[in-house]
Amino acid sequence: MNPGAYPMVRSMFVLALMAGFVACAGSEQTERMPEAGGDSGAVAVDGGMVAGASARGDGAVRMYGSIPYAAPPVGERRWLPPQPVEPWDGVRDGSQLPPACVQVILPVPPGEDPYFGPGATHMDEDCLYLNVWSAAAPADAAPVLVWIHGGALRMGDGSSVAFDGSALASRGVVVVTLNYRLGALGYLAHPLLRAESANEASGNYGLLDQIAALEWVQRNIAAFGGDPQRVTIFGESAGSWSINYLMATPSARGLFAGAIGQSGGVFAPGAGAVPRPTAESAGEQFAATVLGEDTDVSLEALRALPADDVVAAATGRVLVNIDGWVLPSGVNDIFANGAQHDVPVILGSNADENTALARYAQGPRPGSVAEYEEWAHHEYGDLADQYLAAYPAESDADVEAHIIDSGGDGRFVWEMRAWARMMETVTSPAFVYHFTRVPPAADAARYGAYHTAEIPYVFGNLDGGGRYWFANRDYDDTDRRLSDVMSSYWINFAATGDPNGAGLPEWPAYSLETEPALELGDTVQVRHGIRGDRLDFFDQLYAARRAATN
């Protein structure tokens, strides 16, 4: 057997690294609109007045959609940090959801149903908008939850029906979802862009958009009944990467009081921000490719390109970069030195993170125990025996499951444990969860507690399940009880910095000594050292890879 003949197996780790053909690429913006009627509750925000619309049949919650938090990043503003909102006259209609930022569309594997929805159907480069859900008669100083969507920093948007904030808002929080620039439009670094920057930096525009949205929240959320001192940011997959970066960047200091990371971190080698020269070199190659090798590269020429062409030409991994401004150093170093924002966090992962991702991996894979063991020695070298001890295949039937499981453990479950451990360098607590509930469906055995499965439980949107993710989910009373518990934990955390509250199972703060994690599944219970031996293997692997590059 030739281990190099199994590119699919390595690509599972690449898919997990990209994580975003995974998280909420489906948008379906036109399917969930507020029901018009009653007082619009118009409020004053940066730029002018905006009117909302009823988001529920009982009129208890309003949605204010398509609120601009920055000027359109088009023309000369392409590849600039977000600029101030352009004022408007009259009252802006907030009854519609905004377009998604221009992005690639998730390909559906042959013979498969769309797993993460059909992809965004309404896209525009003018996309820096956010949505707010709040009680129609809001109490003063309600806690605020700000959602950052996933999608590998290449796709997704804040207006998917999965992220409808009305159920959470009906329970006394203000919910904000937002768009940010994606792909090459959001993260292109280039020496010409750095030369025109007052901060001598380029790239990271999508991250700057997120910071601008949080600054908007600080200035404006009180108009919707929200408390700017009790803002919690939360996100999943690449949205959780973004949470990781926001906790590290000095530019976001004071913009949030708590953070929730769901299935995504940037601590593993190759997962986080790259050095500026690496990103700029990739940007120079991209510019030469998209403009043509014989064309002089200029910002004028790049900014004149159609947005669709820019996005389509960028096929590699999106590169966040250590620009010396937004990110003064790598996230590992910032956290290791205790320089991250000292705020409480909830961190967690799902039991079967890689099952859905494996659908997108192409090519052959080891099929027998002998091929699996040979592949492991090729992939892990001197650490192959440790890998095989953590993931032993006793029969050929074990091989595929172990490859899938190890991809999920190494890129998702390990990341969240590493993040929790890194919080030992500050004083604020971390609360760790492990989501194990298998959403009921005919294909439940294939996918288990898959990547993104927890999102509708958090948002309390189980009854909308026919319009996103698997259309054939048949949620039952167990799921609804778990959703109520999970929503309660998230709401309590936004309100107090502690998820615990009356009527809920006790959720202990994380400690290195006992490594407690709250299992969120058919039962809700505390477990200790989840997958410890397997995650310890990845500690060894990543330490060796870091040593090899130093």
Q: What is the mean pLDDT of residues 243-269?
A: 99
Residue 422: CB partners within 8 Å, gap ≥ 6?
267, 335, 336, 340
CATH for 449: 3.40.50.1820
**Residue 113 has what pLDDT?**
58
**Residue 22 has what pLDDT?**
45
Beta pairing, strands 61-68 & 129-135: antiparallel
For the stretch 519-548, pLDDT in tens is 999 999 999 999 999 999 999 999 999 999
First to last CA, the chain: 33
Q: Could you list the residue range(s) of the whole structural domain that residue 432 is in?
A: 3-549
What band does 125 get if pLDDT is binned at 50, 70 and 90?
very high
Element (H, E) at 548: helix 532-549
Q: Is the pLDDT of residue 115 over 90?
A: no
CB 142 within 8 A of CB 170: no
Among the ranges given (28-37, 144-153, 280-289, 317-326), the one the predictor scored with the smallest mean pLDDT: 28-37
The neighbour count for residue 337, using CB atoms within 10 Å, is 10
Helix axes 414-422, 532-549, angle to 10 degrees: 80
**Residue 263 has what pLDDT?**
98
Helix (H, G, I), strand (E, B) or coil at 287: helix
Catalytic residue list: 237, 353, 451
Question: Tokens 């910032």 sit at which residue?
Answer: 334
Q: Is the pLDDT of residue 346 over 90?
A: yes
Helix (H, G, I), strand (E, B) or coil at 100: strand
Domain count along the chain: 1
**In angstroms, rounded to a whole number, what is the distance separating the alpha carbons of residues 259 and 232?**
5
For the stretch 26-76, pLDDT in tens is 444 433 444 444 467 899 999 999 999 999 878 899 999 999 999 999 999
Q: What is the mean pLDDT of residues 190-211?
A: 98
pTM: 0.94
Q: Which of 42-56, 113-127, 465-479 has the highest mean pLDDT?
A: 42-56
- Chain centroid, CA 384 distance in Å: 31
For the stretch 392-422, pLDDT in tens is 999 999 999 999 999 999 999 999 999 999 9
Average per-residue pLDDT for the chain: 91
**Residue, of 25 and 346, whose pLDDT is higher:** 346
E-strand ranges in 173-257 read 174-178, 226-236
